[in-house]
């Protein structure tokens, strides 16, 4: 199996480092995303009525991000709630065999002193 695919399911503003959760960042808050993470917002997985998109549409979204069942998938968000939606979609709707949720999510990663953060400049966004 290849290296795992980290999947950031937060908003684009959070991924780019423009927001920390639902507001502009405060001093000393680390913003951005885990380096190398792919961006697949949790809202893209859902229809307007809050139900999941059909599996065919979910597969297209995953293909666009280079996510395949042959790689372990690890979704994360800010505290683990939104990533649970992605975990369920990948594991149960698409049948990915190796899916784990990063329960600590951005809340943990951004506070660790030995980790880095990606931002919009790194990704060319």
User: pLDDT tens digits for 100-120?
Assistant: 999 888 888 877 766 666 664
Query: In CATH, what number is assigned to the domain containing residue 41?
Result: 3.40.250.10
Catalytic sites, residue numbers: 77
Q: Is the pLDDT of residue 35 over 60?
A: yes
Beta-strand ranges (E) seen in the chain are: 2-8, 38-39, 71-76
The C-alpha R_g of the chain, in whole angstroms, comes to 14
Q: Is the pLDDT of residue 65 over 80?
A: yes
Domain range enclosing 66: 2-117
Number of domains in the chain: 1
Asked if 6 and 65 touch (Cβ cutoff 8 Å), the reply is: no
Give me the sheet containing 71-76, strands edge to edge. Answer: 38-39, 2-8, 71-76
Better pLDDT: 95 or 21:
95
In a domain, 124, yes or no: no
Q: Which of 5, 7, 1 is nearest to 45 (CA)?
A: 7
- Which pTM was predicted? 0.86
């Amino acid at each position: 199996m290849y290296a795992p695919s980290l999947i950031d399911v937060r908003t684009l503003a959070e991924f780019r480092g423009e927001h920390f959760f639902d507001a502009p960042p405060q001093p000393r808050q680390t913003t951005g995303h885990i380096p190398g993470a792919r961006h697949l917002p949790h809202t893209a997985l859902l229809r307007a009525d809050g139900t999941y998109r059909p599996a065919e549409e979910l597969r297209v979204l995953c293909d666009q991000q280079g996510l395949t069942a042959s790689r372990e998938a690890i979704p994360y968000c800010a505290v683990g709630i939104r990533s649970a939606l992605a975990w369920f979609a990948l594991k149960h709707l698409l049948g990915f065999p190796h899916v784990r949720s990063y329960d600590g999510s951005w809340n943990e990663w951004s506070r660790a002193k030995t980790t880095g953060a990606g931002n919009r400049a790194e990704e060319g966004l």
